[in-house]
Structure 1
Amino acid sequence: MIQARSPLLIIMAFFAIYVIWGSTYVLNKIAVTELPPFMLAAIRFSTAGILIFIIAKFSGKSLRITRKQFINTVIAGFLFLSFGNGVVVWALRFVDSGFAALVISAQPLMVLLLMLILDGKRIQPMSMVGVFLGLLGIYLLVSQKQVTSQENSLLGISMIFACLISWSYGSLFVSKANLPTNHFVNTGYQMFTAGILLMLASYLFQEEWSYPTTWSTPTQFSMLLLIFFGSIVAFTAFNYLLKVVSPEKVATSTYVNPIIAMILGWYFLNEQITAQSGMAAAVLLTGVYFINTKKKLVMFSRFTSKLPEKINKE
């Protein structure tokens, strides 16, 4: 029997949060070329939510939650999945999958700015460097003519940034909200309720639904991968890693996902990777690293450590 901290399980889990999550942008891009975006996301999340409930029930986990917890899961599901992911899928009709992944990777930057605006939390010197690099990377990314010249690209870019804000605020909300204690059950409720909200959005936008049997093989394959691997396997791997390795190591997926998305988008969808895109990715992800790292600026820490000595001498 494989032990809980098995090196093999840890490697497989990292593969899941690196490659599988990184590939979801390309899978969504493939599927959304044929399917209406809100219908696509609705089927993905409602199906994944039902499957999670079934798995949880058979594994002996209680699905009972309080009324307050249910309301909070609906809010979290809307911020993360209904709007945060559903609108990303909608925007993928107008922007490349690699571009979307890079913008979303700036989530730590947006979380930091929202904490400053909403909570008045002071930004540390190391994080200030990250904010500057992050903003520079985003500017390099969106200022390319190849990006802005595509039809409805500005609308798509705007919606991607709106999703970034939604994801970031959702992170702050979840950190304080009363949610189900079991992460698997919590995700099941978020996915299922988000799927219902996306169905309503699909109805309001008068999207035309179709049977899976009428979809092309690439779209069917993409949907299956999004449901089973992108929604269930990767999330389970994420929670497993949070229990057996440090959070800093788990957070490295922030740097790897957009790179995977860019490579897969280039290979399968012929998306261009310009020199400026590569530079923007390097600058942006370096900024994200500075924001996530707990290390201090060497020069700053040396200076502050000598302040008491200088004050005493004076």
Structure 2
Amino acid sequence: MREFILFVALALAWGSNWPVVKIGLESAPPFWLATIRFFISFIALGSVILFKRPSYQSISGNWGKIMLVGSLSYGVSYGFIHWGQNYVSSGTASVLFASIPFFVAMFSYMMLRSERVTVLKVIGIVVGFAGIVVIYLGDISLHGEMAIWGAVVITLASATAGFTTVFVRKHLRHVDPLLLTHTQMIPGFILLLVMALVFDDVSALKLNANTILSTLHLALVGTAFAFWAFFYLLSRMNAVTLSLVGFVTPIVALFLGWLILDESITARLGFGIALVLVGVWFASREPSGSIVSQKS
């Protein structure tokens, strides 16, 4: 039950990220927004660690792996997302980033011998992704060269997130999730800061209510809590099954839009949501047959 509650909470946290990032980008350059976001998250998680005082024994001998994952998942992946969203619509970004389960399935097949890529998982991923496409059908567009580059970069961010998910499942699932989340932010923050200094104009950073509130939400809810929950669940769940949260988050975003912004839920959106839910149901089942039985 705890895992289910955390899965739902994770979907809620990440589902609110896409519109909040868009709001933040109105008054902050992409890499500076990401840098400040992760700096605040690092401080917040550090405060929790000082209070809980977990043992660092699980990290011993794994610093190299943690630095690699932190650089890729926090630095490269989130840096790419923030940059790419400057040039594509939220719908396009959501669809592209929802390809994570495909990459997780691919890397699981290549790297995880104990977890099988089953027929139902593949069917569920395809059906769920089709639902995401249906949901955002009217908001998928690429106009101009920069939009194409934005789409490519967000897809690379999705592939990077898929790889790091499987890498953590294989090599770091025994590490305390709180310490894993916190220590990964060190290389991620450094890499984002370098990108901000090189590519962004700090004078474009405007300190206003939108910047403060959106950054706090992204830092505390969409990063600190969300990544702790993700790594906690990843130590206990199949990597492909957990990656299905990427299909659920757009539904959360739609629901929040209906609840808070009085946005309508059309028949097309309803059909897309139904496809996503059916896909998640299929992909989360664990039958005896599989496409490939991983060698032990």
Measured after TM superposition, the shift of residue 22 of structure 1 is: 1.0
Match of 1:161 in 2: 155
After superposition, what is the alpha-carbon deviation per residue over 1:5-58, rounded to whole angstroms, capped at 9, x for unaligned? 8x9x986x5663232221011111111122111111111113312331232123
After superposition, what is the alpha-carbon deviation per residue over 1:153-194, rounded to whole angstroms, capped at 9, x for unaligned? 322222221111111111121122257721101110112321
Aligned partner (choices 218, 226, 246) of residue 226 of structure 1: 218
Structure 2 CA distance, aligned partners of 1:80 and 1:22?
18
TM-score by length of 1: 0.72
Matches of residues 225-304 of structure 1 in structure 2 within 5 Å? 225-237=217-229, 253-264=245-256, 279=271, 282-283=274-275, 286-295=278-287
Measured after TM superposition, the shift of residue 199 of structure 1 is: 0.7
Within the alignment, does 1:38 sit opposite 2:31 as a pair?
yes
Match of 1:75 in 2: 68
Moved more, 229-238 or 179-188: 229-238
Structure 1 CA distance, aligned partners of 2:102 and 2:73?
17
Residue identity matched to 2:80: V
Structure 2 CA distance, aligned partners of 1:20 and 1:182?
21
Matches of residues 180-199 of structure 1 in structure 2 within 5 Å? 181-199=175-193
Structure 2 CA distance, aligned partners of 1:165 and 1:259?
21
Moved more, 108-117 or 17-26: 108-117
Query: Over alpha carbons, which structure has the higher Rg?
Result: 1
Match of 1:216 in 2: 208
Structure 2 CA distance, aligned partners of 1:123 and 1:24?
29
Asked whether the 8 Å contact 1:242–1:250 carries over to 2, the reply is yes
Structure 2 CA distance, aligned partners of 1:270 and 1:95?
24
Q: What SS is found at the alignment partner of 1:195?
A: helix
After superposition, what is the alpha-carbon deviation per residue over 1:204-240, rounded to whole angstroms, capped at 9, x for unaligned? 32x122597x422112100011112222233445567
Structure 1 residues 141 and 155 mapped into 2: Cα distance closer, same or farther (>3 Å)? farther
Segments of 5+ residues of structure 2 without an aligned counterpart are 291-296
Match of 1:84 in 2: 77
Aligned partner (choices 21, 27, 33) of residue 28 of structure 1: 21
Within the alignment, does 1:176 sit opposite 2:170 as a pair?
yes
Structure 2 CA distance, aligned partners of 1:231 and 1:122?
29
Asked whether the 8 Å contact 1:69–1:179 carries over to 2, the reply is no
Moved more, 148-157 or 41-50: 148-157
**Pairs aligned (count):** 287
Segments of 5+ residues of structure 1 without an aligned counterpart are 301-314
Residue identity matched to 2:157: C
Residue identity matched to 1:202: A
Structure 1 CA distance, aligned partners of 2:49 and 2:166?
26
Asked whether the 8 Å contact 1:126–1:296 carries over to 2, the reply is no
Residue identity matched to 2:82: V
Asked whether the 8 Å contact 1:38–1:199 carries over to 2, the reply is yes
Report sequence identity in percent: 27
Structure 1 CA distance, aligned partners of 2:280 and 2:212?
35
Structure 1 residues 264 and 295 mapped into 2: Cα distance closer, same or farther (>3 Å)? same
Residue identity matched to 1:24: N
TM-score by length of 2: 0.76
Measured after TM superposition, the shift of residue 59 of structure 1 is: 1.9
Structure 2 CA distance, aligned partners of 1:268 and 1:91?
26
Asked whether the 8 Å contact 2:89–2:139 carries over to 1, the reply is no
Asked whether the 8 Å contact 1:106–1:134 carries over to 2, the reply is no
Match of 1:305 in 2: none
Structure 1 residues 62 and 146 mapped into 2: Cα distance closer, same or farther (>3 Å)? closer
Residue identity matched to 2:286: K
